[in-house]
Amino acid sequence: MKITPELLQKQRRFLVLAKEPLIVEEFITQTVEASKGVPRSYYDVADLSSAYNAESLFSSEQCTVHVLQELSSEHVQELDALLKTPTSDILIVIQHGSIPNTKAYTNITTVCQVVKIDALDEHGAVSWVREHLRNLKIEYEDALPEFLVHRIGKDLYALRNEIRKLWYLSEGKKLDVDFCSNIVFDAGESRYFDLIENFFRRRTPATLKEFHKVSETAYVSLLHFMLGQVQRMHRLSIFVEQGHTPDEISDLLSVPKFVVKVKMQPILASYNKVKLLRLQDMLNDLDIKLRESKHNKRLLFEAYLLKALKI
């Protein structure tokens, strides 16, 4: 539902049935913008009877967008009474759970414009990404929204944060799948970032702590992620040895210059080309052992990690 100044001339009270928090935020922001930037205020409906009676809630001379959060059945009577107060203020009531269809609740749904904001399916998330990219005026490859949802999932907060990061790292260039695939890892792989960063910085206790968070069923996935990172670092070491500049390496690896300079190059102080080759051999050997060994896989993986940290 799009909020426009014309709509607000006719309707100034909304009951939002909310299942997608970020879209609720966008709805509130849209309402404020359509109201020509009037201030907004947030209240907990649980305190309605004591703090937000008609006199205190609508006493300001300036028009305000009031947001009442977490409407529940026990506060329906107070809200019904509050809605009888004449005011030019805008009221948005957020309801997350179900509420019995009492007379008071029926009154609320009659007085308020009911807005349903359901959780998005994959198709809806892709559409949201497209609209968000357009709103930010970001030029992008047509396949990018589907790629991002496939990699990250339907969590709109995670998608929004990733888009902002990509926007910054792209330095104003068109976003395409090739560029983004080197930065955005799928939802499963993203949880390994702390482990791999601690590993490359030789922080043994922190590396083991992150490893112990990984379930045994994810060991192969973790191993392949680590191997991919080590192989990329090995390519970096070769390019540095050949005398390529960070800008050239950024293009060769399809990685932002910021990542090359700040994240990747400092690792070469601890792991040169020879050590990175040894790491690849060790991880490939571990891959075979994990598939064939009948011994405790956690102890096996941990032993290889400790050996790799000492290279």
Dump pLDDT digits (tens) for 253-290: 777 777 788 888 888 888 888 899 899 889 988 888 88
Phi-psi region of 248 (alpha: psi -120 to 50; beta: other; left: phi over 0): alpha
Alpha carbons 93 and 66: distance in angstroms, whole number: 8
The domains located in the chain, with CATH, are 11-117 (3.40.50.300), 122-185 (1.10.8.60), 191-309 (1.20.272.10)
Residue 271: CB atoms within 10 A of its CB come to 21
Specify whether the CB–CB gap between 156 and 22 falls below 8 A. Answer: yes
Per-residue pLDDT at 186:
58
**Percent of the residues in the chain that have a pLDDT greater than 70, as a whole number:** 91
Alpha carbons 250 and 24: distance in angstroms, whole number: 39
pLDDT greater than 60 at residue 49: no
pLDDT greater than 50 at residue 51: no
135-153: pLDDT as tens digits: 899 999 999 999 898 877 7
Per-residue pLDDT at 205:
92
Residue whose C-alpha is closest to residue 152's, from 196, 179, 122: 122
- The token pair that represents 179 in the structure block: 């560029």
Alpha carbons 40 and 90: distance in angstroms, whole number: 9
Alpha carbons 174 and 170: distance in angstroms, whole number: 7
Per-residue pLDDT at 181:
79
Instruction: Pick the range with the lowest mean pLDDT from 11-25, 207-221, 248-262.
Output: 248-262
Instruction: Pick the range with the lowest mean pLDDT from 114-118, 213-217, 279-283.
Output: 213-217
* Rg over CA atoms, the chain: 27
- The token pair that represents 114 in the structure block: 């009911």
Q: What is the mean pLDDT of residues 31-38?
A: 83
**Percent of the residues in the chain that have a pLDDT greater than 90, as a whole number:** 26
pLDDT greater than 70 at residue 61: no
CA 122 from chain centre, in angstroms, equals 15
pLDDT greater than 60 at residue 55: no
Per-residue pLDDT at 57:
60
Residue 57: CB atoms within 10 A of its CB come to 20
Phi-psi region of 276 (alpha: psi -120 to 50; beta: other; left: phi over 0): alpha
Helices (H), the chain: 5-10, 21-34, 48-51, 54-57, 76-82, 103-111, 122-135, 144-152, 156-169, 177-181, 187-190, 193-200, 204-211, 219-241, 246-253, 257-258, 273-292, 297-309
Residue whose structure tokens are 């960063």: 197
Decide which of 249 and 103 is more confident. 103
Residue whose structure tokens are 């329906």: 76
Q: What is the mean pLDDT of residues 84-105?
A: 88
Length of the chain: 311
Alpha carbons 88 and 62: distance in angstroms, whole number: 9
Alpha carbons 218 and 216: distance in angstroms, whole number: 5
Secondary structure element (H or E) that encloses residue 67, with its range:
strand 65-69
pLDDT greater than 60 at residue 53: no
**Band (54; pLDDT cuts 50, 70, 90):** very low
Instruction: Pick the range with the lowest mean pLDDT from 101-110, 191-200, 250-259.
Output: 250-259
Alpha carbons 270 and 96: distance in angstroms, whole number: 51
Q: What is the mean pLDDT of residues 158-168?
A: 83
Alpha carbons 96 and 73: distance in angstroms, whole number: 11
Specify whether the CB–CB gap between 179 and 195 falls below 8 A. Answer: no
